[in-house]
Amino acid sequence: MTLGRSAKALRHTMRNLASSLIQYESVTTTFAKAKMVQGLVENLITKTKNADLKSSEVEKLLKIKLVGELYNQDITVPKMMNELRDRYSKRQGGYTRIIKLEPRIGDNAPQAIVELVDSSSREMKFWYIARVVARLELQGLPLDQLTKKNVESLLHHRVDGAKKFRDAVELSKKRWYMNENGKVIKERLENLPRMKNDTTKSGFHKEFTNYTVVPRPNKST
């Protein structure tokens, strides 16, 4: 749990990582560090959320806490107090997301992306799904179940989410699947999905339509 360093050095690495995560919205590190920093950042966000900023004394105490926990305070602390507090007002935890990546070239260390949820400027999952949707739309195919679910969960708490996602999809269409003249590059769209996951008969993400869900009867009646 100490990542092979002393307690002092560990605290500094975590502080560094947490502050750069808050500043840049997404950070690529090793999986172990990602796991550690996740708890720290989530804890800080809940504390800023729970603090009653109407009273100046509480605000002062919170500021002292954040300045002690983070680096680059002139950027990170106001961002925590204003932007992130507003963004996560509807959420009950789960402000960060970890996505696994391939191991690093050189030392083969398992890598991961840690990102703040609902950021849209630098959110890997948001852009990845936008890229997938753009590809499927250009191929003239409907969205499969998993992508639909992903889009839904991405836009659930996002402010002005549908418009942002639409913009991202259009941008990714232009950037990756279109020519400079606006023509579709057919070579990049040749590989069609098997849609195995979408069928009801086989596949992992199948729709269970064989039975109907009956609510549990009330005990008192």
Partner 1 sequence: MASLPLKNLISLESILPKYTFPSLSSLLPSILQPQSIDQRLIQLGDQLSQNPSHPPPFFHDNGILKAAPKKKVSHMKRRTRLYAPGKKQVKLNNNLNRCPSCGNYKRSHFLCMHCVSEIKKLWKDTEKEQLPQPYIEEFVNPLDEKVLYPGKTERAYERTLRRKEWLVQRPKTLPVEPKTKK
- Between 69 and 123, name the residue whose CB sits nearer to partner 1: 123
- Between 85 and 125, name the residue whose CB sits nearer to partner 1: 125
Token pair for 159:
């402010």
CB–CB of 130/174 below 8 Å?
A: no
d(CA 205, CA 125): 19
Residue 98 DSSP code? E
d(CA 158, CA 164): 9
The 117-136 site mask, x for binding partner 1 (CB under 8 A), equals ----xx-x--xx--xx--xx
Residues in 151-180 at the binding interface with partner 1, rule: CB under 8 A: 171-172, 175-176
- Between 34 and 40, name the residue whose CB sits nearer to partner 1: 34
Nearest-approach distance from CB 145 to partner 1, in angstroms: 12
Token pair for 184:
């579709």
d(CA 179, CA 198): 31
- Between 156 and 174, name the residue whose CB sits nearer to partner 1: 174
Residue 75 DSSP code? H
Enumerate binding residues for partner 1 (CB under 8 A).
99-102, 105-106, 113, 121-122, 124, 127-128, 131-132, 135-136, 144, 147, 171-172, 175-176, 190-194
